[in-house]
Amino acid sequence: MKQAFQPRLLHSGEKRTDVNAQFRAEASALALQFRCDDCAYVVASIGTCSLGWPNAALHTPTLALLEIVRTDGIPEFCKAFEPDGS
């Protein structure tokens, strides 16, 4: 089966929980916007994506709940993210 290229964020010996905690800390410090709540394409009233992308992982209520690195080591970023200007 053909697989699309996905970057792996976990390197040998790293724990997913540590990488996720570091990402949350850095995203918070930099006010990084990348989640659906900051995206022009989210349907705010119901939390879905108007483009039809699955967005459960990026629509967490708070950054503290986000697990950016999945258990398979692949990040949960959305290439269609468009800042909503807020």
Residues that bind ligand SF4 (CB under 6 A): 36, 39, 41-42, 49, 51, 53, 55, 58, 78, 80-81
Instruction: Report in angstroms how near the CB of residue 49 gets to ligand SF4 at its nearest.
Output: 3
The residue among 19 and 39 lying less far from ligand SF4, judged by its C-beta, is: 39
For the CB of residue 18, give the shortest distance to ligand SF4 in the complex, in Å.
25
Q: Which residues contact 32 (CB under 8 A, 6 or more apart)?
A: 26
Closer CB to ligand SF4, 21 or 80, in the complex: 80
* Close Cβ partners of 57 (under 8 Å, ≥ 6 residues apart): 66, 67, 70, 76
